Amino acid sequence: MMIRSVPEPRAREGEVVVKVRMCGICGSDLLFYEKGFGSLHRIMGHEFSGDIVSTGEGVEGWKVGDRVVIEPTQMCGKCAYCVKHHYNLCSSLKFTGIEMDGGFAEFVTVRAYQLHRVSDNVTYEEAALVEPMAVALHAVKRAGINPGDSVTVFGGGPIGLFVMQWARAAGAGRIFVSEISEFRIAAARKSADVVLNPEQDDVVRMITDQTDGLGPDVVFECTGANAAEVQSMTLARKGGRVIILGVPHQETKVPFGLFFKEITVTGAFAYASLLGSGEFATCLDFIGTGRIDTSMVPTTGISLEHIVSKGFECAMSSEKGKILVLP
Ligand SMILES: [Zn+2]
Ligand SMILES: [Zn+2]
C-alpha cells in the first residue's frame, strides 16, 4: 500500500472524469490490505461521490459540475446474466476500485453508465454511503421480509447498520444484533431492539428464548466470520432464511439443523442497479426524502495522506464506523 502521483486521467469515449469528494473504506478493501495488494497495483476505493470535471465523446445527459455517485460495477451487457439484468453476476464483472483504478485519488475515470445523479439536498458524505447502503438493500430485498418478521443481524459495522435500517423500512418486527466491538454495540443500540455480545452472551439461546423458542424468521450474516456463519444457520427458525452478505473469511461447515429445519441460505452480492434503476436510485431517493437516516452509521473523515495510519489501521480495529477519505 502506498500513495503515489499519477497522471491526471482523461475521459475517452463514453467516459467521464470525476473529481472525488469522499470515498469510503470498505471491509473488502481491508481484506486486500491485509493480504497485500499482490500484482493488482490499482488505486482502490469503490464507495465515492464527487463532481464531473470532464466528459468524453458520446456522453449524453451529463455535464461538467454535475454531482454524482458512482456505481462501481462494470458489466459486459451481453452475457446470459446481463441480458436478464443480473448485472452483479455478469460473467466478466469488474469493479472500479478493485480491477480498475478507483476513488482513493483526486480524479477517477468511469463509464458514463456508472453515474447516478445526486440531488442538492443530499450531501457528498451521504452519497459516499450509498454503495454500502445499496449492498444492504440488495440483501434485504433477497430476504423477502414480511411485516412483523423477527430479524437477527450478525455484525454491527456499516453494512449491518444499513441492513437494520432497510429491515425496519421493510416492516421487520424485533431486530436482534450480535456484535463484539463496544463501539459498534453502541451504534447498533440506536437501531436494534436487543444487542448481544457473543463473547459474553449465549447468542443462540438468548435470541431463541426471545422469539417464542423458535428463533428469528430472517438472519443476516454481515461479518464473514466462521463462528457467526455457523450461528446464523443454527439460530434461524424452521423454514427460516439466512442471508449471507459478509465476505466469508474461510469455508464453513453446514450445521446438521439446516437439513431438517428446511432453512434457506441465500447469497447476496453487491447490487445490480446500473442504468438508473434499482438499489442506488432507491438509496438516493430514501436519503433525499429523509426516509433513511444515514447518521445511524457513524463516520470519520480523514485526508488521503493519512489513509494508512488513520484509515486502514483504524478500520481494522472495528472501533470506528465508516471511514471516509477526502482526497
Ligand atoms: Zn464496499
Ligand atoms: Zn455480462
Per-residue model confidence as pLDDT tens digits over 87-104: 999 999 999 999 999 999
Residue 27: which pLDDT band, with cuts at 50, 70 and 90?
A: confident
Q: Which residues surround ligand 1, an ion (CB under 5 A)?
A: 26
Helix axes 130-143, 158-169, angle to 10 degrees: 50
Query: 103: CA distance to ligand 2 center in Å?
Result: 23
Percent of the chain whose pLDDT exceeds 90: 77
Predicted local distance difference test score (pLDDT) of residue 37 = 59
Separation of alpha carbons 136 and 282, rounded Å: 12
Query: 114: CA distance to ligand 2 center in Å?
Result: 14
- What is the pTM for the complete model shown? 0.95
Which ligand number lies closest to the CA of residue 83? 2
Query: 31: CA distance to ligand 2 center in Å?
Result: 25
Query: 82: CA distance to ligand 1 center in Å?
Result: 21
Separation of alpha carbons 70 and 20, rounded Å: 10
Residue 310: which pLDDT band, with cuts at 50, 70 and 90?
A: confident
Q: Which three cell numbers stand for residue 273?
A: 442497479
The one-letter amino acid code at 36 reads G
Residue 256's CB: how many other CB atoms inside 10 A?
10
Query: 15: CA distance to ligand 2 center in Å?
Result: 19
If residue 284 lies in a helix (H) or strand (E), which one and from where to where? helix 279-288
Query: 238: CA distance to ligand 1 center in Å?
Result: 32
Query: Is the CB of residue 69 less than 8 Å from the CB of residue 276?
Result: no
Q: Do the bridges between strand 15-24 and strand 107-111 make them parallel or antiparallel, or are there none, so unpaired?
A: antiparallel
